[in-house]
């Protein structure tokens, strides 16, 4: 058996948002009037090759802010609540 000498590649190195404006993903407020900016971030997420890994990470770590895996904090709270109910 040969060990692979390369370090493991973290999913974030393939993120489609690497060169995007961080303010799209981490707005100063979640005011509904900023929904178009959230939509811009979600569009980037929809084309991201690591969307599933990103969302899994955000759910697992309880990420409280920002757009992750195409979801808002409120949407992730709902997903976590549903996960909790499914396992309770
Ligand atoms: S899913 Fe969205 S937030 Fe996550 S890495 Fe991809 S582009 Fe960035």
Q: Whose CA is nearest to atom 2 of ligand 1?
A: 45
Task: Domain count for the chain, please give it.
Answer: 1
- The pLDDT of residue 61 is 94
Pocket of ligand 1 (CB under 6 A): 15-17, 25, 44-45, 48, 50-51, 54, 67-70
In a domain, 62, yes or no: yes
Token duo for residue 22: 């961080």
- The pLDDT of residue 13 is 95
Residue 65 domain boundaries: 24-87
Q: Cα separation of 76 and 58, whole Å? A: 8
- The pLDDT of residue 55 is 97
Over residues 62-68, the mean pLDDT reads 95
Answer yes or no: is pLDDT of 6 > 80: no
Question: What is the number of the ligand 1 atom nearest to the C-alpha of 12?
Answer: 5
Residues 14-34 have pLDDT tens digits of 999 999 999 999 987 777 776
In a domain, 19, yes or no: no
């Amino acid at each position: 058996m040969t060990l692979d000498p390369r370090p493991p590649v973290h999913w974030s190195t393939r993120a489609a948002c690497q060169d995007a404006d961080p303010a799209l993903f981490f707005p100063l407020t979640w005011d509904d009037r900023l929904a178009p900016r959230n939509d811009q971030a979600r569009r980037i997420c929809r084309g991201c090759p690591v969307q599933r890994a990103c969302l899994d990470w955000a759910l697992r770590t309880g990420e409280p802010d920002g757009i992750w895996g195409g979801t808002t904090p409120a949407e992730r709270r709902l997903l976590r609540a549903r996960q909790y109910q499914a396992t309770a």
